Structure 1
Amino acid sequence: MTERTRGRPARRFVAAAALATGLLTAVAACSPGPSGNASADDAHKTTGPVSKDVAKAGNVTLTEWDQNTDPGTDAATQTLNKAFMKKYPNVTIKRVSRSFSDLKTTLKLALSSASPPDVVQANQGYPDMGAFVKAGLLQPVDRYATAYGWDSSFPSQLLDLNRFTSDGKTWKTGNLYGVSQTGEIVGVYYNKAKLKSLGLSVPTTLAEFQSALAKSKASGLQPISYGDADKSPGIHIFGVLQAATAGKAEVRKLVFDGGGAKWTDSGTREAATTLRGWADKGYLGSGFNGESQDQAVASFAKGKSLFLVDGTWQTAAIASKMKNNAGFTALSPAAGQAPLTQGGEGLAWAVTSKSKHPDVAAAYINFLVDNNGMKAAADNGNLPALPPADYRPAAGTVHADVLAQWKAVSEKDGLLPYLDYTTPTFYDTLTAAVQELTAGQLTPAKFCDRLQSDYGSFQQSR
């Protein structure tokens, strides 16, 4: 996320094994420059003087595009934008905020225009960041990573998620093209009062969750609030299932091209069969492919369902409406096992190649991701990518649940990548296929065949 709506989704995404040790402590080896397949030309682009003196840049209008439309991320962005302009009165920030789906549709056109934005949020992986790099629309930020210390404050594994070779063909190596402000995991929000009224405990495994779904449906309470008109929610609910049925090794191989796995394998097929079963049993409600994610969140917040399967980017919105009646959990494949789920970091803040003020753009990004930026994210109900040492949400709140689950997942190597990272076209393929699967228009087998076809075509083209 994963993207990825992931913001959004945003969001987003993650080299899961690596995050386990470094993400919470923000201690990692430095990654000061290009690596892997980076060419000499790549290296040249990452060098050069950096001016950190924004006040001496003259009058600057800095245009930024983001997908921070959810209450928490929107509030944090507004707060930090105002603070940046107060600190630097010579800078005017022009903000354009779109949903994740809209951003995916319009950002490349904006970047290719005669007046492109200076700073954008770019989704990791081949469909977006890789395509932008290949088209020469983003500039490397390695020199800024050195100047501002991103290469030491961020774990190298997080930085690698924002790396590409200059041809956009190889992910997680080469130049650095951005850094992220927020952390993310996808999990299960639950209504505490309704869970108690049904005599249920908080589900921690897929089996317990499915048992709770059945009991909720039998009681007349809608089990899950779900709306997939925005498409990205389908990635997340399927990803939660696939994590439990296929396991972390297989999911990582599929997304990170580890080899030896196919989208037609039994674990993925079982996830598709389970999701189709949820739709057939009415666990997802009716008309869900015509309802938005926002409608689903609102329905859950009003107490119309027991669960909501979504990302931590929804925490602020849910907490504001449900107070302490909302909880959050991540699911394990089976009792005694660590939880597994999609997650990692939010979309990367990147500098566009045509920006007339790249040094100011980099200073702005640093303002978003330094300790004060992370604190602003946390203060507005978001999960910061690098949680400040004093970040301790009040006990009994959904924010406390989110942090606890974040630690449980990441510290035990349970973070899995967002599935749309897999190929340049996988977001469109997967989101359409999930809609058809849940609508009864695709069998689980045909669903898996479609995903494998996209995956296989990409492998052959490389």
Structure 2
Amino acid sequence: MKVVALATAALLLTAACTPGSDNPGDAASAPSTIKTDAAQLGDVTLTVWDQEVRGGQAAQMAELNKQFQAKYPNIKLKRVSRSFDDLKTTLRLALSGNDAPDVVQANNGRSDMGEFVKAGQLVPLDKWSDAYGWKDRYPETVLQYSRYSADGKTFGQGDLFGLPQVGEVVGIYFNKTKLGALGVEPPKTWAEFEDALGKAKAAGQLPMQFGNLDKWPAIHVFGTVQGRFVPADQITTLAFGRPGSSWKTPENLEAAQAAVSWVDKGYFNQGFNGQGYDPAWQDFAKGNGVFLIAGTWLQADLAKALGDKVGFMLPPGASAEEKPVVTGGTGLPFAITNKAKNPDAAAAYINFITSADAMKVLTSTGNLPIADTSAQQAPPGLAGDIFSAFGTAVSKEGLVPYLDYATPTMYDTIGAALQDLLAKKATPQQFVDKLEADYSKFTGS
């Protein structure tokens, strides 16, 4: 099936991770003149760090790298592929060293890309964007979320520092076979969803797989619940760290209480705060659990494991017709470091893996391309569900940003606060108070 074009969509990007340097360095700059004929750049070795380690993610990267080297044998790729968490913990140190990679996937939130820009560790891409026509393929509603002012303070305006490959939304995977055994149709409203969770629990099934050892998965679960209680514009203001809103509202408190109620009702697996994210979704892939709140990046792996037994839906609203409120945006953008030995070769590589042909490879390997999405033909089954869900979220302007975008320290703050909330070591009021302290300190609200 085809999905709507993104040119009029307001897209938001994926979660931030690692804090960068607190000491700003000299602003990095692109060369005064650039070259786009990669075959004429001489012998070059590009070191590329990415986090495309799971099934379909790894497959698309391997295929595109193979095609790139076949087309440009003068450019040798040295790929270093790390998990999301490993990349999070190593990239900051790598960028400050003398042997930094040439191309990296960098989270575009303030605590990563913003700090890297502030430290002068990433090169602005606007000259290559003009030369390659990226602005013609990527609407500004996408590009703006890889834009920063040179001091890293202003997010959404300024120079372009990255280009993403994929789109994503955080939705609800469900096991069709298990729902059928419960006599339940895929829920169309939030009340039906919670009723399905209760029926699964009563039948001795695990209602929802959840692994929160890494802390960030709870951000996605809470964001899903929050969207049922808090207006989308308030979530957006909070998530972008803009003055004018507050965590200390009745709606946010109600969302925190609702999340805790899922713990009280036994909807999650035992020991979820001590279980990793990957083991949790892998357990769901083995048929354990009725629902899983997770992003579209698991599409290829879950389709391979469960086939036509797995479906995907956006978090439902109070009614089936209600506008969706769903966490989502794009995958991690690719950026050029200030230590890149040949920035033109690095830009040529980024152009290649985000080209129109690359989007076809992404589709064929079970990924959700962010550019030329409407031109792709989604395979039947889970991929069709995901393309349709993404198209609905985009066309109805229902995407809201990841909550840890808000401040340079919010990733750590909200991750720890959610672990405490769901472990019942903190009350819902203490939870929102902790987030408000971080938010208001940054915004001056």
- Scaled by the length of structure 2, what TM-score is found? 0.92
- Residue 382 of structure 2 corresponds to residue 382 of structure 1: no
Contact 1:420/1:430 (CA < 8 Å) preserved in 2?
Answer: yes
The SS at the match of 1:115 is coil
Question: Counterpart in 2 of 1:332?
Answer: 316
TM superposition shift of 1:241: 0.9
The one-letter code of the counterpart of 2:125 is: V
Note the 1:114-129 alignment, pairs <5 A: 114-129=98-113
Contact 1:394/1:400 (CA < 8 Å) preserved in 2?
Answer: yes
Describe the superposition over 1:91-133 as per-residue Cα deviations: whole angstroms up to 9, x where unpaired: 1111112222221211010111111000011111211110000
The SS at the match of 1:305 is coil
The one-letter code of the counterpart of 1:365 is: I
The SS at the match of 1:334 is coil
Question: Counterpart in 1 of 2:128?
Answer: 144
Question: Counterpart in 1 of 2:19?
Answer: none
Quote the Cα distance in structure 2 between the aligned partners of 1:315 and 1:452. Answer: 34
TM superposition shift of 1:423: 0.3
TM superposition shift of 1:82: 1.2
Quote the Cα distance in structure 2 between the aligned partners of 1:243 and 1:159. Answer: 25
TM superposition shift of 1:47: 6.7
- Residue 335 of structure 2 corresponds to residue 350 of structure 1: yes
The one-letter code of the counterpart of 2:210 is: Y
Question: Counterpart in 1 of 2:347?
Answer: 362
Equivalent of residue 278 in structure 2, options 294, 309, 319: 294
Quote the Cα distance in structure 2 between the aligned partners of 1:409 and 1:312. Answer: 13
- Scaled by the length of structure 1, what TM-score is found? 0.89
Distance 1:28 1:243, change over 3 A: closer
- Residue 148 of structure 2 corresponds to residue 164 of structure 1: yes
Describe the superposition over 1:265-311 as per-residue Cα deviations: whole angstroms up to 9, x where unpaired: 12221221111111222111111111111111111111111000000
Question: Counterpart in 2 of 1:35?
Answer: none
Gaps in structure 1 of 5+ consecutive residues: 1-22, 30-40
Equivalent of residue 255 in structure 1, options 215, 239, 247: 239
The SS at the match of 1:253 is helix
Describe the superposition over 1:26-45 as per-residue Cα deviations: whole angstroms up to 9, x where unpaired: 5469xxxxxxxxxxx98x94
Question: Counterpart in 2 of 1:13?
Answer: none
Note the 1:17-32 alignment, pairs <5 A: 24-27=4-7
Quote the Cα distance in structure 2 between the aligned partners of 1:168 and 1:367. Answer: 27
Percent sequence identity over matched residues? 45
- Residue 250 of structure 2 corresponds to residue 243 of structure 1: no
- Residue 303 of structure 2 corresponds to residue 319 of structure 1: yes
Q: How many residues align?
A: 426
Question: Counterpart in 2 of 1:33?
Answer: none
Question: Counterpart in 1 of 2:69?
Answer: 85
The one-letter code of the counterpart of 2:293 is: V
Describe the superposition over 1:225-253 as per-residue Cα deviations: whole angstroms up to 9, x where unpaired: 11011222111111111111102111011
Contact 1:224/1:305 (CA < 8 Å) preserved in 2?
Answer: yes
Distance 1:439 1:28, change over 3 A: closer
Further displaced range: 380-389 or 435-444 = 380-389
The one-letter code of the counterpart of 2:426 is: L
Distance 1:137 1:266, change over 3 A: same
TM superposition shift of 1:204: 2.8
Equivalent of residue 447 in structure 1, options 423, 428, 431: 431
TM superposition shift of 1:358: 0.4
Quote the Cα distance in structure 1 between the aligned partners of 2:118 and 2:437. Answer: 23
Equivalent of residue 415 in structure 2, options 420, 431, 444: 431
- Residue 45 of structure 2 corresponds to residue 65 of structure 1: no
Q: Report the RMSD for the aligned CA atoms in angstroms.
A: 1.8
Quote the Cα distance in structure 2 between the aligned partners of 1:244 and 1:222. Answer: 23
Question: Counterpart in 1 of 2:185?
Answer: 201
Quote the Cα distance in structure 1 between the aligned partners of 2:134 and 2:4. Answer: 15
